[in-house]
Amino acid sequence: MTPDGDTHTPAGGWLDDQERAAWLGVAALLFRLPAALESQLEQNAAITLFEYVVMARLSEQPCRRLHMSDLAVLANGSRSRLSHTVRRLEGKGYLQRRPDAEDGRYTDAILTDAGYELVVRVAPGHVAAVRHLLIDAVTREQLDHLTDIGRRVLCRIDPAATWPP
């Protein structure tokens, strides 16, 4: 048994039928769930899933403000992707960028009142989509398993990652 409680001993080489089925299911979920959530957001608010995540993460911060580098980590995107996204959201009046008042080497992203109002308006539909597509599709026990699986995989990807992400 490994330190994280894993009793599976890899056979090496190609995936067996059970492993392949699990991987293909996860891979399909990784691609199709975000696409379905993004479709709902685009229809209801003309924003992408990543734009929503950026604004939602900012809405949870004190003063709705965060260093761009920290926001990239919270939104799970590269600095370059975040920069392009913030530029688009600035153009729509949802975000502003400003030098950090205490350390001008950093740039802060700030969620505007219009951006906050958009998140508040869009959040119920997004949560309903998450509930319909994922939460209601599984049992409470399966949700616990999903949580455990997510934690274990994230720890393999980034041992220093915090949970929940």
Which DSSP string corresponds to the chain?
--TT--------SS--HHHHHHHHHHHHHHHHHHHHHHHHHHHHHS--HHHHHHHHHHHTSGGGEEEHHHHHHHTT--HHHHHHHHHHHHHTTSEEEEE-SS-TTSEEEEE-HHHHHHHHHHHHHHHHHHHHHTGGGS-HHHHHHHHHHHHHHHHHH-TT--S--
Q: Mean per-residue pLDDT for 62-84?
A: 93
pLDDT digits (tens, 9 = 90+) for 119-165: 999 999 999 999 999 999 999 999 999 999 999 999 999 898 877 77
Question: How confident is residue 2, by pLDDT bands cut at 50, 70 and 90?
Answer: very low
Give a yes or no: residue 137 inside a domain: yes
Count of domains in the chain?
A: 1
Give a yes or no: residue 52 inside a domain: yes
Q: 153: number of CA atoms within 13 Å, CB side?
A: 8
Give a yes or no: residue 124 inside a domain: yes
Give a yes or no: residue 73 inside a domain: yes
Structural domain boundaries enclosing 93: 46-157
The predicted pLDDT at position 164 comes to 77
Give a yes or no: residue 75 inside a domain: yes
Give a yes or no: residue 4 inside a domain: no
The predicted pLDDT at position 163 comes to 77
Give a yes or no: residue 20 inside a domain: no
The predicted pLDDT at position 1 comes to 43
User: Does the pLDDT of residue 104 top 90, yes or no?
Assistant: no
Amino acid at 130: V
Its pTM stands at 0.85
CATH at 128: 1.10.10.10
Give a yes or no: residue 96 inside a domain: yes
pLDDT digits (tens, 9 = 90+) for 17-57: 999 999 999 999 999 999 999 999 999 999 999 999 999 99
